Amino acid sequence: MKLSKNNAIRNRYLLPCYMMLISGVLPNKSYAVASPDDTIRPYVASNLLYDSNFLRLSDNVNPVSVTGQSDKSDFIKQVSAGFDMDWTISKQHLIIKASANQNWFQNLTSLDYTGWDTLAQWNWQVGNNLDGEIGYSNIQTLGSFGQLNSLVGNLQNNQRYFANGGYLFHPNGKIKFGLFREERQFDDENRQFSNNTEDNAELNLQYLSPTESTLGLRILATDGKYPQRQLTSGSTQDNAYTRMNYAVTGDWHANSKTRIDGLVGYTHQNFDNFSSLDFADIVAHLNINWRVSEKTLLGLSARRDIYQADNFFASFVLTQGMWFNLSWQASPKIALNLPMSYQQQQFLGGSRSNTVGTEQQTDNVSNIGLNVMYNPLESISIGPMLSYEKRDSNNPLASYETKSAGINLKAAF
């Protein structure tokens, strides 16, 4: 579980994410060297997105005072190119992905940027009982404005280094240990105060059932730092912390059509200098995937997460919510997705600057979308999308609603 970064869910407003989600499925040939035509697939893509409120401004905020323009909407154009490589030789599996994208805003031109998404990963195996992963990823993209609600430089670069290994010490028992480092850096000088580095160590102990279900225990230890923060007598934000997460994990293959997985755990984070910012709470995930028919898949998730806040008004955010997705393969060439979500966010543990009366800020966020994927040819995809999001907050300056529509075009070779 990732407590403090942005994940695919939190960045759903971001244009590059739409392109990253359309990567093709490549063949995996075991114990043979596949030909380059089978394992390397270049592609080009284009995207046009309309967002009625890109900065997530409240109706109580005059957009002229923020952007100098009366219109909160924007059109964003993106072009991208990249390749996916998937190569298996004997028991070794190499994955390399790389793409670059250029983004232009019609109104908020100061946000124009060049982004990229790269991954190099080696899935190694020695004999039948030892395996693991070694890799590196680097993503540059525009961060979410959901908590910033202002025109600020929010271009960020996220790097991840990881290595892990697992040992099957019994036909029904496996132990796995891994190390990974995550770095987040902001391009804008005014945002570098939030640059963050985390070093993590993770231990997993799993029971493997004959039906491929699993039950396990996971321990995750994190040492985090904000390198650009210099503490002074008037400081209210810390520059270093440690975090421990303990969880019981499970993955149950109920039958050929139903799969249930999740975790229940406890997270606590201690700051080096300001103990008043410490937080701790129970976390839980539950995911249910049900294949109703050959063409229909239902997904339901319930989550309770606690993670660091991305603003100066709180030290952490407690999020509870539900996510639902209906996937329907209408025909061999047309697929539809209907995602919906509702979540409550409580900002806690920081200064009282975000209070309303005597209460800390609480937000209720709802979202509904419609995504269509049309493949007129095997190598060409067209993906229209619609989305509506609304946030109600006890802070009148944090409430907003936004509508978006876009289309993705991709050609693979």
Instruction: Give the pLDDT confidence of 5-56 residue by residue, as tens digits.
Output: 333 333 433 333 333 333 333 333 333 344 444 589 999 999 999 999 999 9
Tokens of 377: 């040819």
- Percent of the chain scoring above 70 in pLDDT: 87
pLDDT for residue 176 is more than 80: yes
**In what helix (H) or strand (E) does residue 18 lie, and over which residues does it extend?**
helix 15-20
Share of the chain above pLDDT 90, in %: 77
pLDDT at 359: 74
Q: What is the CB-side half-sphere exposure of residue 321 using CA atoms within 13 A?
A: 21
Say if residues 39 and 16 touch (Cβ distance below 8 Å): no
Domain boundaries, the chain: 15-412
Token pair recorded at residue 347: 């900002």
Give the Å distances, CA to CA, from 261 to 206, 253, 254: 14, 8, 10
Buried b (16+ CB within 10 A) or exposed e, 275-291: eebebeeebbbbbbbee
Structure tokens at 88: 């298996």
Q: Which comes out higher in pLDDT, residue 276 or 326? A: 326
Contact between 36 and 42 under an 8 Å Cβ cutoff? The reply is no
- The 10 Å CB-count burial string (b at 16+, else e) for 338-371 is ebebebebbbbbbeeebeeeeebbbbebebebeb
Is the pLDDT at 346 greater than 50, yes or no?
A: yes
Q: Decide if pLDDT at 301 tops 90.
A: yes
pLDDT at residue number 308: 75
The model carries a pTM of: 0.85
- What are the pLDDT digits (tens) for 116-160? 999 999 999 999 999 999 999 999 999 999 888 899 999 999 999
pLDDT recorded at residue 7: 39
- Per the structure block, which two tokens stand in for 372? 């269509």
Per mean pLDDT, which range of 73-82, 172-181, 227-236, 330-339 is the poorest? Answer: 227-236
Please give the span between the terminal C-alpha atoms of the chain, in angstroms, as a whole number.
35
What is the rounded average pLDDT for all residues in the chain? 88
Q: According to the model, what pLDDT value does residue 314 have? A: 72
Lookup: tokens for 308: 């660091």
Q: Which residue has the tokens 């929010």?
A: 154
Q: Which CATH class for the 15-412 domain?
A: mainly beta
Long-range contacts of 20-26 (CB under 8 A, 24+ apart): 20/99, 20/117, 22/373, 22/381, 22/383, 22/408, 22/410, 23/84, 23/97, 24/84, 24/412, 26/84, 26/86
